[in-house]
Amino acid sequence: MKVKGLNDTEFLALLERVLPTTTPDPRLASAIYEEVARQIRLINSVKSLEKYCAEGSLPNLEPATVAEFKGRLEQTFGAEKVTVAPNEKGDSVAIEIALPDRKVENRLKVLPPGAVEEEETKAVYVPFPVTLPEDPDLVWILARREDLAPEEAARALAGIEEEFWETKAGLKLQKEGVEKSFAEFIANVPAAALIDHGIKRHYKEPEPRKTLHRGPVAEEDGTRQGDSNRRAD
């Protein structure tokens, strides 16, 4: 039987019940609970931003538009931690969020309302499962642009990974002792770096390959066991 994991609310409720039984200091228990809850909110906020950058856009680069978007980020992450800057081409804004333990970098495209439908029509994505030679039973479920061949997507992904570990963010992770692995690359590479090459991250975590167990095997005469039994009756 497959056991469903706890959602954030259920986990925090469980933590709130368990903490008083593990520490006699109510202030310590409260501090631990508040910090865990803050970290969960932060993780969810980063995920929401990443999804918005992958799927959303700004209608223009007018100062008021950029300021309104930056203001929403500041309400979530704090005014002193957010940097939003239009790029030179004027087709996107660079986003930088300074977190206590790392720096989140992403890009949000600028797409006028009339161009949304055309853009969405061009960018059709299909599943792009990836395995590693050292663990072929573990499947990473990514996505590639439909007009990008699987071989091309694989070469692009390998190139992005190599480049990522040479970036400021990649070097910082290595300096902090993070393993230089595909798992860490997928978890930390900016979504924009993938999208620029026609690839999307659907899931950061890999999924084990499933084995499909089918029904009774066919009899030698080509009929199914169930059919043979019915004829015998």
Q: How far is CA 194 from CA 29, 97, 107, 180, 232, in A?
A: 41, 19, 11, 18, 60
pLDDT tens, position by position, 26-40: 899 999 999 999 889
In the block, tokens 């704090």 appear at 78
Instruction: Measure the CA–CA gap between 142 and 202, rounded to whole angstroms.
Output: 5
How many beta carbons lie within 10 A of that of residue 195, not counting itself? 21
| Percent of residues, the chain, with pLDDT higher than 90 | 27
pTM of the prediction? 0.48
Query: What's the CA gap between 169 and 187, in Å, rounded?
Result: 12
Q: How many residues belong to the chain?
A: 233
pLDDT tens, position by position, 102-156: 888 999 998 876 554 444 455 688 899 999 888 888 888 899 988 888 999 999 9
Separation in Å, CA 49 to CA 103, 176, 204:
13, 24, 15
Mean pLDDT of 197-222: 68
